[in-house]
A and B are shown apart, each in its own frame.
Chain A
């Protein structure tokens, strides 16, 4: 049997093994790659950079644990940047699972900033999840406290929290920026209820496979910025001067992408030389 014929009949499990080896190598020795920021990521960074100290930022989190690998580092980078700017951050979630993610990531970011570590209710608040979350989001454009039944993620009353008193309505007068961190269609209610009618600039942090879907909204100006996937997160980390988790992730992904390209090229060459389709 010739080499070409052998490669044509290669057991696909060898390819799976290759994926595993590449991923393990990428996990132990991740190549350090700092990507050049794309205009869309730079726009997201500039929007956050333009938030004045004490300015309001509303963050709507839609993703679950399946997308945490890509979006947690992105969320941490954005929250860290906003905290360094002294923004007041209001988090809300589209599912109970995402409200837990919001709490976990924000709490870990807050540890780096004393004003946030000890400033719950003043510098940040987690509104958590309400059944029919998009209805709650729409109601927040009339009054945030009522929309979230006057309680936060942990069931504490929102009454008396200065952040809710100072930023009572989700509109352009009170909020400088709104973010959706999204693995599905969580960006849509933000455009429908917050961006288009209330004129609050909306940015999206999305998983990489969702990025093409967002481009028409970005081009039409309905989204102000998009951070796309692990690469976008690494770009944001680079802009914020804090290369961390996403930077490692994008290095490991690049290694896997090279492996896929090599296998694709090899597979096509073998099919062409062998005259078959296998």
Chain B
């Protein structure tokens, strides 16, 4: 077994978290509260150390650096929504935020989306490409809700699309399960090898 306090702390906290799978218990509750408290404290320190401090120490004092205070002021304006009578000021940062987002989308997204559209125009010489076209059109048909009485062909295409979407979601879910297993494996590996000392 490891003699390192850090390893012991990690191992005991891991076991406390896993104990919830048996039933709710005080060890789990303590760990849960510890985690939330640490995450909040870490988040605060992280933001100060990595976002605010470098800007305030390095960029604001530089020539023309006053402009860096502008985002700080805009960010602070968000909190005016808690001050009755001044809450309209919070709309300015939100407006800039949404405007930036719209500009970003207009500037960069079309090239990528057009690439996706042209990428779906494939030569129907292989079974894969035929499946791609069928699933693509079926997927579109699934989300046609504007016609009050959908023709039979559209309904059938929609059903094909629904199955295609289900298969895609199944694949994504399978990937998610495997991904979670690798996380569990990492933690079990830590317990078995780093804490208990198997195979060292």
CB B63 to nearest CB in A, in angstroms, measures 14
Please pick, from B22, B49, B119, B182, the residue contacting A222 in the complex, using a CB distance under 8 A. B119
Contacts of A117 in B (CB 8 A): none
Assess whether A69 is in contact with B185, with CB atoms less than 8 Å apart: yes
**Alpha-carbon distance A193/B188, docked complex (angstroms):** 40
Cross-chain contact A256 with B172 (CB below 8 angstroms): no
A216 to B171, CA, bound (A): 14
Asked whether any CB of chain A lies closer than 8 Å to the CB of B186, the reply is yes
User: Which of chain B's residues has its CB closest to A189's CB?
Assistant: B108
A216, B172: Cβ atoms under 8 Å? no
Q: Does A208 lie within 8 Å of B178, measured CB to CB?
A: yes
Most buried by A among B118, B179, B183: B179
Q: Contact string, A120-153, partner B, CB cutoff 8 A, digits 1/0? A: 0000000001010000000000000000010000
Flag if A13 contacts B175 (CB, 8 Å). Answer: no
Q: Are A131 and B55 in contact (CB under 8 A)?
A: yes
Of B54, B109, B188, chain A has the most CB atoms within 10 Å of the CB of B188
In contact, B179 and A70 (Cβ under 8 angstroms):
yes
Q: Which residues of B sit under 8 angstroms from A196, Cβ to Cβ?
A: 111-112, 115
B193 touches A229 (CB 8 A): no
Verify B22–A28 contact, CB threshold 8 A.
no
CB of B182 within 8 A of CB of A70, answer: yes
From B112, B175, B193, A210 is in contact (CB under 8 Å) with: B175
Segment 156-200 of B: residues with Cβ below 8 Å from A: 168, 171-172, 175-179, 181-186, 188-189, 192-193, 198-199
List the A side residues contacting B115 at CB < 8 Å.
196, 220-222
B178–A23 CB distance below 8 A: no
Give the contacting residue for B120; candidates A28, A197, A220; CB below 8 A. Answer: A220
Q: Is the CB of A27 within 8 A of B185?
A: yes
Interface size class of A (residues with CB under 8 A): 35 or more
Determine whether the beta carbon of A23 is less than 8 Å from that of B119. Answer: no
The interface residues of chain A lying within 8 Å CB-to-CB of B199 are 28
Instruction: Say if the beta carbon of B133 comes within 8 Å of chain A.
Output: no
Known contacts A216-B119, A249-B185, A257-B181; decide if A192 and B112 are in contact (CB<8 Å): yes
Q: Interface size (B, Cβ < 8 Å)?
A: 40
Tell me, yes or no, whether A230 is within 8 Å of chain B by CB: yes
In the complex, A273 has a CB within 8 A of chain B: no
1/0 contact trace for B74-104 toward A, CB 8 Å? Answer: 0000000000000000000000000000000
Report the bound CA distance from A211 to B179 in whole Å. Answer: 11
Is B35 interfacial (CB 8 A cutoff)? no
What A residues does B177 contact at CB under 8 A? Answer: 257, 260
- B9 located at the interface, meaning its Cβ lies under 8 Å from any Cβ of chain A in the complex: no
B156 CB to nearest A CB, Å: 24
The CA of A16 and the CA of B17, in the complex, are separated in Å by 13
Q: Which residue of B lies closest to A130 (CB)?
A: B54
What separation, in Å, do the CA atoms of A16 and B188 have in the docked complex? 14
A217–B49 CA distance with the chains assembled, in angstroms? 36
A131 to B72, CA, bound (A): 13
Using Cβ atoms and an 8 Å threshold, which residues of chain B touch A191? 112
Are A23 and B181 neighbours in the complex by a CB distance under 8 Å? yes
Tell me if B125 counts as interface (CB < 8 A to partner A): no
Residue of A nearest to B46 (CB): A96
Q: Is the CB of B179 within 8 A of A209?
A: yes
Query: Quick check: is B70 within 8 A (CB to CB) of the other chain?
Result: no
Q: Does A212 contact B (CB under 8 A)?
A: yes
Contact residues in A for B183 (Cβ distance below 8 Å): 66, 69
Is A252 part of the contact surface with B, judged by Cβ < 8 Å? yes
The CA-CA distance from A221 to B114 in the complex, in Å, is: 12
Report A83-117 CB contacts with B as 1/0, cut-off 8 Å: 00000000000001000000000000000000000
Q: Contact check: which of B112, B179, B186 meets A208 at CB < 8 Å?
A: B179
Which residues 1-58 of A sit at the B interface, judged by CB distance below 8 A?
13, 16, 19-20, 23-24, 26-28
**Which single residue of chain B is at the shortest CB-CB distance from A195?**
B112
Contacts of A253 in B (CB 8 A): 178, 181-182, 185
Complex formed: what's the CA distance from A217 to B58 in Å?
39
Besides A149-B58, A212-B171, A220-B116, 4 more A-B contacts (Cβ < 8 Å) are: A20-B188, A129-B50, A209-B172, A209-B178
Residue pairs across A and B with Cβ atoms less than 8 A apart, 12 shown, are A23-B181, A69-B183, A191-B112, A192-B109, A208-B176, A209-B176, A209-B179, A217-B116, A219-B120, A221-B119, A230-B178, A256-B181
